[in-house]
């Protein structure tokens, strides 16, 4: 199937969105059956239909097991080469109905815009998740079924939220969690959505720039910088506290002559690489000890 075949552009968008949202390998045949709505699609037909489209999706890699894997650019590769002092940052936080982005939904979202080291705008909205909120979540956040009963569904606020996130470096505390949920919800609202915004994580940056803390939870890092958060476990309070933490981290990045977005992203990648090396060494030590017994 060539890209100029009728229906190919739409199929290409769906294929890209489906792979970007996947958290692991996706069998080629299952992907074809899902996209084509044809339960009896054979592996041979799946390859004939989808392989030509993959030429237009460099992030997708087909393994020997006939499974596709999404190989997104690393934060350092995707971050724009721009000065931190001039970048526009969108600091986000979400409250959800669970920990799994495939099964849980967003119940509240907040975004704080930082420009030229100043908070310039804030956005927050309750979201009707379309499913009951577990009692444990209500006890933690105070967000109940009654509170979100009249709130808009995520699909209704998705265009506005995309405007807030547009042309911004997205920042969050434990950013992978917020990014997974936002990607899932934005993809449900628009199947062609693909996350391209560079992302910075204040947990990872704090570990590198504020070494020695007993914990790097938001409470602990905020307390270190003497930042109050009277609305803990609500998206608006946590997003604002994260934004204030990030402003302090920007000062420390400047002190270490880390002045570009891509350099800050590379600093996080360096930290992750060290953690993986430590884990690998720890596992090797465990194997050696087992053999020595």
Is 41 found in the same domain as 109?
no
- 24 Cβ contact partners less than 8 Å away, ≥ 6 residues apart: 69
Is 50 found in the same domain as 117?
no
DSSP state of 84: G
Is 137 found in the same domain as 102?
yes
Q: What is the rounded CA–CA span in Å between residue 157 and residue 121?
A: 17
Domain ends where: 29, 55, 73?
73
**Is residue 155 in some structural domain?**
yes
* H-state helical runs in 5-153: 8-21, 28-36, 43-54, 75-78, 135-141, 145-148
**Is residue 182 in some structural domain?**
yes
The closest alpha carbon to 235, from 59, 75, 96, belongs to 96
- Check residue 270 and give its pLDDT: 63
**Is residue 132 in some structural domain?**
yes
- Check residue 238 and give its pLDDT: 97
- Check residue 72 and give its pLDDT: 59
Structural domains counted in the chain: 2
**Which regions in the chain score pLDDT beneath 50?**
1-7, 74-80, 273-274, 276-293
Is 98 found in the same domain as 50?
no
Phi, psi angles (nearest 5°) of residue 260: -120, 155
Is 34 found in the same domain as 162?
no
Domain ends where: 73, 107, 126?
73
The closest alpha carbon to 101, from 21, 157, 34, belongs to 21
- End-to-end, the C-alpha distance of the chain in Å comes to 59
**Is residue 285 in some structural domain?**
no
Is 157 found in the same domain as 95?
yes
Q: What is the rounded CA–CA span in Å between residue 258 and residue 266?
A: 10
Is 263 found in the same domain as 179?
yes
Q: Residue 68: give the domain boundaries.
A: 8-73
Domain ends where: 73, 97, 119?
73
**Is residue 130 in some structural domain?**
yes
Is the entire prediction scored with pTM above 0.85?
no
Over the stretch 229-282, which tens digit does the pLDDT of each residue have?
999 999 999 999 999 999 999 999 999 999 999 999 999 876 554 454 444 444
- Check residue 285 and give its pLDDT: 44
- Check residue 8 and give its pLDDT: 59
Is 217 found in the same domain as 131?
yes
Q: What is the rounded CA–CA span in Å between residue 283 and residue 243?
A: 37
Structure tokens, 158: 């998705």
Residue written as token pair 């449900």:
188
Q: What is the rounded CA–CA span in Å between residue 173 and residue 156?
A: 25
Q: Do the Cβ atoms of 174 and 201 come closer than 8 Å?
A: yes
- Check residue 24 and give its pLDDT: 75
Q: What is the rounded CA–CA span in Å between residue 137 and residue 240?
A: 21
- Check residue 113 and give its pLDDT: 98
- Check residue 2 and give its pLDDT: 40
Q: Residue 162 belongs to a domain with what CATH number?
A: 3.30.420.10
**Is residue 43 in some structural domain?**
yes
Phi, psi angles (nearest 5°) of residue 110: -140, 150
Is 144 found in the same domain as 98?
yes
Is 68 found in the same domain as 116?
no
**Is residue 280 in some structural domain?**
no
Please, which residues bridge with residue 68 across strands? 26, 62
Is 58 found in the same domain as 93?
no
The number of helices, as runs of H, and strands, as runs of E, in the chain is 12, 8
H/E element, 94: strand 88-96
**Is residue 1 in some structural domain?**
no
Is 118 found in the same domain as 184?
yes
């Amino acid at each position: 199937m060539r890209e100029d075949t009728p229906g190919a552009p739409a199929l290409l968008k769906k294929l890209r969105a489906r792979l970007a949202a996947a958290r692991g390998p996706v069998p080629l045949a299952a992907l074809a059956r899902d996209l084509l709505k044809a339960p009896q699609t054979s592996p041979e037909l799946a390859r004939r239909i989808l392989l030509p489209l993959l030429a237009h999706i460099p992030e997708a890699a087909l393994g020997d097991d006939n499974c596709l894997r999404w190989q997104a650019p690393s934060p350092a590769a995707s971050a724009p080469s721009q000065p931190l002092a001039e970048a526009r940052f969108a600091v986000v936080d979400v409250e959800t109905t669970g920990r799994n982005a495939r099964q849980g939904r967003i119940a509240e979202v907040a975004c704080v815009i930082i420009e030229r080291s100043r908070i310039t705008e804030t956005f927050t909205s309750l979201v009707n998740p379309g499913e009951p909120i577990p009692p444990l979540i209500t006890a933690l956040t105070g967000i109940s079924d009654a509170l979100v009963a009249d709130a808009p569904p995520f699909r209704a606020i998705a265009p506005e939220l995309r405007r807030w996130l547009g042309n911004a470096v997205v920042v969050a505390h434990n950013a992978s969690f917020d990014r997974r949920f936002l990607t899932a919800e934005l993809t449900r609202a628009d199947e062609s959505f693909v996350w391209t915004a560079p992302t910075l994580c204040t947990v990872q940056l704090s570990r590198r720039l504020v070494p020695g803390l007993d914990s790097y939870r938001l409470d602990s890092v905020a307390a270190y910088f003497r930042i109050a958060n009277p609305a803990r476990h609500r998206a608006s309070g946590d997003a604002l506290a994260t934004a204030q933490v990030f402003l302090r981290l920007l000062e420390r990045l400047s002190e270490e002559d880390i002045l570009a977005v891509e350099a800050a992203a590379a600093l996080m990648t360096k930290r992750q690489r060290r953690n993986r090396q430590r884990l690998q060494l720890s596992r090797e030590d465990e194997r050696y000890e087992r053999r020595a017994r």
